[in-house]
Amino acid sequence: MEKAEKLQNIRHSLAHLLAASVMDLYPETKRTIGPAIDNGFYFDFEFLQPISDTDLAKIEKNMRKILPTWNTFEKSELSGEEAKKEYPGNPYKHELIDEFTKDVAKVSFYKSGSYSDLCKGGHVENMKEISVDSFKLDRVAGAYWRGDEKNKMLTRIYGLAFENKTELEAYLEQREEAKKRDHRKIAKEQDLLVFSDLVGTGMPMFTPKGNIVRNAIIGFSRELNNELGFGEVHTPNFNKAELFKISGHYDKYKEDMLTVQSQYSEEDFFLKPMNCPQHTQIYASRPRSYRDLPIRYSDFANLYRDERPGELSGLVRLRCFAQDDGHVFCRKDQIEEEVSNILNAIEKALKLYKIDYWMRLSLRDPNNKEKYLGTDEIWENSQAIMKKLLDAKQINYRAAEGEAAFYGPKIDIMAVDALKREWQISTIQLDFNQPNRFELEYTDSDGSKQTPVMIHRALIGSPDRFMGILIEHYAGAFPLWLAPVQVKIIPVRTNHNDYAKEIYELLKANNIRVELDDADANLGSKVRDAKNNKVPYWIVLGDKEIEAAKVTLESRDAGQLGQMSKEELVSKLLEEIKNKK
Ligand SMILES: [Zn+2]
Ligand SMILES: [Zn+2]
């Protein structure tokens, strides 16, 4: 059995055990449903008296007491009528039973120990497989019956469950570390970005410090775009509906798009969810010859998606964000080189950011070809090109059938952060569809009209979202070139302020992001403050430094670096910033 299926069965069986424990301790409770979820399970109840997190220990202890009395799960079948008798006065179970018996005469029950419940199955073979220390009740939350806010609010008890104690402890440790690294928390401590209820959820505002980081990320993507031969364009934030009707977004993405009204026209406008349709219009603005290709456009315009408010979370999912987006229009014989160069740039970026990654080659489903546009030949060719490239580069990838876009295969880049969490950050997609829909063409060497291929690509994806990932990956300790404050100058006492000011001006004149902490405060607390804010370097200046006309440099990562001259200091810092160390 697959590990995932085994875990699923363990977790669902434990949901039964949780309900058994609750019914034992609180017999008046109405039980509802309890599925397995990521990392564990939950069960929803209507309690007579509300319970809280402090009651969980008691319920968990009782679970451990019941566990040894359970063995296998015995299945039985009851008619709707009989089934309802098992749950007197429980409208939730009655609703489910009515629903299930619409199509079938009998519903199934599963019993282990002395506890039985309405259930479709999916348990461990024997409860003895579950060790007592591999699970833990986690927290209590409110949840509407069937997730509908018009329904009654129930009490949900969440539990964590793994195959063994070691895995449970590893998960708890990772979760604790993730809490410490939460980008929303660190962004607040370091004053990087702000969310405001008045502005709206999912719409971050970057402070001057945060915008330095964001601009540095964009700046590096611009450097890569330059090397790849992309020309940066600037495009409007909203467009006529007609454009998205032709591109196909209107049909496929309408629910995710935000509308805009004009008082001067009846026409519908949409805030754009993607840049591709606009880029086709720049391409189409003049005649193109085979010699002009590839033509490459990059764009950092804001994009807008109407995400459900409940799904928005920090920088990870936003309603307004940019992408380091780009589109290549090329001939078929140029695909290989273009994709290869883009892959190189992505690898270069991820190495620089010190982020691990793997790639997913997303292919069409060979048993469901009618889901996709384009001929077999085009698909076989383009899939073979991408496969060949990944093999040649010895990139760690997994092929996934059925994951392609409807218009072409793609390579999805999955970043793996310091906590081993995976984030899909960007894709390279071959598109044989939009160029046709927009009737794009170029004149070939023989004078015939041909349709170019379109390659969609992003290097690190959204700079906004990527910044959230980086904050957690680095635990707030940005490398020097990204750090909002690169150096902090700390005079020992106020009589050292003049010299400190001189060093401050010197670094500032060299475009180094420097702060001077000349407050009349205790030296220890000033140094602590620099450390807490994860500033890469600080310089403590006192009598010794003034006498020697030198500075003493200390590094967040390398500790004490000793005394050096002002010139040495400037050239060391500039060198490191330039090399993005
Ligand atoms: Zn079950
Ligand atoms: Zn695109």
pLDDT in tens, 477-510: 999 999 999 999 999 998 999 999 999 999 999 9
Alpha-carbon gap, residue 463 to 482, rounded angstroms:
13
pLDDT bucket at 249, cuts 50 / 70 / 90:
confident
| DSSP H or E segment with residue 63 | helix 56-66
pLDDT at 374 over 80: no
**Rounded to the nearest whole angstrom, what is the distance from the C-alpha of residue 93 to the centroid of ligand 1?**
14
- Long-range contacts of range 25-30, CB-CB < 8 Å, 24 or more positions apart? 25/58, 25/59, 25/62, 26/51, 30/87, 30/89, 30/90, 30/91, 30/92, 30/93
Which ligand is closest to the CA of 14, given by its number? 1
Q: Which ligand lies nearest the alpha carbon of 36?
A: 1
pLDDT digits (tens, 9 = 90+) for 528-577: 999 999 999 999 999 999 999 999 999 999 999 999 999 999 999 999 99
- Check whether 36 has a pLDDT greater than 70: yes
- Point out the ligand nearest to the CA of residue 35: 1
Distances (CA, A) of 294 to 62, 261, 446, 448: 68, 37, 18, 18
Which ligand is closest in space to the CA of residue 431?
2
Secondary structure class of 219 (helix, strand, coil): helix
DSSP H helical ranges for 200-303: 208-228, 241-247, 249-253, 276-283
Angle between helices 3-25 and 56-66 (to 10 degrees): 110
- Residue 297 β-bridge partners: 231, 327
Contact 489, 541 (CB under 8 A): yes
Nearest ligand by distance to the CA of 120: 1
Cα of 458 to ligand 2 centre, how many Å?
A: 9
Residue pair 96/164 in contact (Cβ under 8 Å)? The answer is no
* Per-residue DSSP letter, 403: -
Instruction: State the distance from the centre of ligand 2 to the C-alpha of 135, rounded, in angstroms.
Output: 45
Distance from residue 431's CA to the centre of ligand 2 (Å): 9
H/E run at residue 19 = helix 3-25
Distance 580 CA to ligand 2 centre (A): 29
User: Known catalytic residue: 276?
Assistant: yes
- pLDDT at residue 169, as a whole number: 96
Mind listing the pLDDT tens digit for each residue in 81-138? 999 999 999 999 999 999 999 988 899 999 999 999 999 999 999 999 999 999 999 9
Ligand of minimum distance to the alpha carbon of 8: 1
Angstrom distance (rounded) from CA 350 to CA 346: 6
Q: Is 327 part of the annotated catalytic residue set?
A: yes
**Ligand 1 centre and the CA of 127: distance in Å?**
12
Q: 456, 465, 488, 496: which is the annotated catalytic residue?
A: 456
Four-point Cα dihedral 202, 203, 208, 212, nearest 10: 70
Q: How far is the CA of 112 from the centre of ligand 1 (A)?
A: 10
Q: Has 181 been annotated as catalytic?
A: no
Starting from the CA of residue 456, give the closest ligand. 2
Helix, strand or coil for residue 202? coil
Q: Ligand 1 mean position to 145 CA, how many Å?
A: 19
Q: Choose, from 190, 278, 323, 383, the residue flagged as catalytic.
A: 323
8 Å CB contact between 165 and 134? yes
Catalytic residue among 327, 473, 488, 496: 327
- How far is the CA of 163 from the CAs of 56, 167, 527, in angstroms? 21, 7, 45
CA of 58 to the centre of ligand 2 (A): 54
**Is 75 marked active-site?**
no
Res. 375: pLDDT tops 70: yes
* CA 79 to ligand 1 centroid distance, Å: 18
How many angstroms is it from 126 CA to the middle of ligand 1? Answer: 13
Q: CB count, 10 Å around CB of 308?
A: 10
The mean pLDDT of 294-320, rounded to a whole number, is: 91
Helices 463-473 and 208-228: angle between axes, nearest 10 degrees: 110
Catalytic residue among 30, 183, 288, 410: 410
Share of the chain above pLDDT 90, in %: 83
Q: Give me the pLDDT at residue 1, please.
A: 62
Q: Which of 12, 31, 183, 305 is catalytic?
A: 305
171 CA → ligand 1 middle, Å = 25
Omega into 294 within 30° of 0, i.e. cis?
yes
pLDDT bucket at 376, cuts 50 / 70 / 90? confident
How many angstroms does the Cα of residue 326 sit away from the middle of ligand 2? 7
> First vs last Cα of the chain: how many Å apart?
46
Catalytic residue among 55, 138, 324, 325: 325
Give the predicted TM-score (pTM) of the model.
0.84
Decide if 279 is catalytic. Answer: no
